[in-house]
Amino acid sequence: MPGFSHQFDKTSLREYDIRGIVGQTLNPADAFAIGRVFGSIIARSGGHRVAVGWDGRLSSPELQKHLVDGLVASGMEVIRIGCGPTPMLYFASYDQKADGAVMLTGSHNPPNYNGFKMMIGKKPFFGKDIQALGAMAAAGDVVPEKPGTAHDVDVSEAYIARMVQDYAGGAKTLNVVWDPGNGSGGAITERLVKKLPGKHVVINGEIDGNFPNHHPDPTVLKNLEQIIARVKAEGADLGIAFDGDADRIGVVDGEGHMLFGDQLLVVLARDVLKAHPGATIIADVKASQVLFDEVAKAGGQPLMWKTGHSLIKQKMAETGCPLAGEMSGHTFFADKWYGFDDALYSGVRLLDILARSDETLAQMRAALPVVLNTPELRFNCDETRKFEVIEEVRGRLATEGAQVQAVDGVRVLSEDGWWLLRASNTQAVLVARCEAKTEAGLERLKAQLVRQLEASGLEAPDFSGENAGH
């Protein structure tokens, strides 16, 4: 189209979304361009309806206006669902029979970030799709301008009702603390808990883009200190926390212990496998061996897959898997639900399991085999070099006859346990993790990892004090 051309900051076109620092690498012109090009992609695929939602960040209201303007200029019928959690936008794409969907959110990034997550049809729009969008914007490759429309649709009541529908419950009455972290899931959480039996306390429910109480990432223990204290004060059975756009979940049990993403998946998988015996359960490559063993023990087929919510969703659709999860707290139900990552819905399903169980969540966690591991260790490595390092390490391991799972980076198995090295898809970093049954074994695994890093000319990360029971 003559007159339209837009160049994005090269750092903003990520693997799973478009994201940047507002006023620096992301601005209103970017939002318009995303709408103009994405709308053109939808139009060329024969579609015309796009659902749009946004989170509670201070920059979101202005950016969404420009996004919508771009979509309307491409002839789209835009369905604005308003401020809310990302999974509500995913739900709206089904509920409103949309041909595409765009969520404006900075997820768990600091307050000055924002970004765009997209769906085309019922599939994630990521990777090469995002790079193609950037190239189309630069080339001005869009459909001729044609005025579309935009109107507001409130799907929140339908979304809440649909979640509550899958709560069967049991004889047990639960006492639950919720922490949306001042993110965009706050208002929906306040309304959801009124429809659930038991006692519910919501903290940090007010949507505030400054995130005044703690950073909205529920996989970091420091960010769970407030909910842990409240769980203990209330004598609650558990606490459920969300990230900034409520597509990732964090859980603490009644004793105040954090459940890691893979531990939560064990609890969920055992229940899902009762309804789907022999089903495939997917987890990302960073998950504990305990998870894969427990899924097999429960009669499921564990499948290790690449890290990344879009990649997991794609693999779920391919395999017909009813449940998947990541260490990062993305949890995906295709059993009764739609297959997208939804922390609110996952919370409802967890409460349903606990209400029907004779065990508490603390007892379920305590019964899991104990292993020792490092947390996820991230260290800087040039964007191109990070992939070269993985190939070098993989080559050396092959000559050494090591047992390697190469689904995503290298996950090296030994009698002691395993260690992982992979390149991040979203940052110029390498990610490492080790897990063993004993302290001595963990130290041996760390030494193997350090040796490989040094062989590729990299300074090894500091592993001191990085062991934790899991």
| Spatial CA neighbour of 273 closest among 368, 353, 347, 329 | 353
DSSP three-state, residue 411:
strand
Catalytic, 107? Answer yes
**Catalytically annotated residue among 12, 107, 184, 310:** 107
Cα 129 to Cα 264: distance, rounded to the nearest angstrom = 32
Distance of CA 432 to the CA centre of its chain: 19
Environment class of 79 (CB within 10 Å of its CB; exposed 0-12, middle 13-18, buried 19+): buried
Report helix angle 28-44 to 128-139, nearest 10: 100
- Most distant pair of Cα atoms in the chain: their distance: 67
Sole residue written with tokens 């967890």: 350
Cα 389 to Cα 405: distance, rounded to the nearest angstrom = 16
For residue 146, the 8-state DSSP code is: B
| Spatial CA neighbour of 133 closest among 43, 33, 66, 11 | 33
CB atoms within 10 A of CB 437: 15
Q: What letter represents residue 458's amino acid? A: L
CB atoms within 10 A of CB 429: 17
Q: How far apart are the first and last CA of the chain?
A: 56
Residues acting as catalytic residues: 107
